[in-house]
Amino acid sequence: MLESILSRKGISLKVRFTVKSAVALGVVALAVLLPQLVHIAFGQAGGMRWLPMYLPVLLGGCLLGAAWGLGAGLLSPLVSFALTSALGSAMPAAARLPFMMAELAVFAAVSGLFSEKIAENGWMAFPAVLLAALAGRAFFLLTAAVFQNVAPFTPAAVWSQICAGLPGVILQAVLVPCLVMGLRLLMVKEKRDD
């Protein structure tokens, strides 16, 4: 979305790169901070229920597109793990880290595939988020099935986590598109004012 709107405004490639870099860093920072706040407020079960890291990653995919979103999706759990490990309480857990990196990369890449369509029509953020959530959760289940002999996750355990995270997915299916449409309106309004 950002690339399309900034291009239409005639913004230089260097400035577009800077803006997208800043947004990607903001997405990663929010994806590190938001789970900490949810865990403080709701405990560890709150993280599994509300999926706080997924929200900024979905937002990043919609705003940044598939490639940049994929990068933010991969980096978010990795940066969170590195920072929280240094503080003594790794989030996500080391065993969950590669699965979460893969799942969030799928979330961001799939939602990012809709980025140009979202720039044209903000309502496209709804199917973007829904399809990203379906693809990401399905990919998590698939990777658990494939690697169940070498990883601590079974498909049944993953299915249980998917069911526990439904409230978070539903919240994000409403909240992320509304945020994306609001940001789009602000950017388009600025364009009309120029």
Statement: residue 192 has pLDDT above 70:
no
Q: Which domain holds residue 71?
A: 2-193
pLDDT in tens, 116-157: 999 999 999 999 999 999 999 999 999 999 999 998 889 999
Q: How many domains does the chain have?
A: 1
- In contact, 80 and 92? CB cutoff 8 Å: yes
Question: What pLDDT shows up at residue 194?
Answer: 47
Contact partners, residue 105, CB within 8 Å, separation at least 6: 70, 73, 74
d(CA 93, CA 72) in angstroms, rounded, equals 19
Q: Tell me what percent of the residues of the chain surpass a pLDDT of 90.
A: 92
Q: Which CATH number fits the domain that encloses residue 67? A: 1.10.1760.20
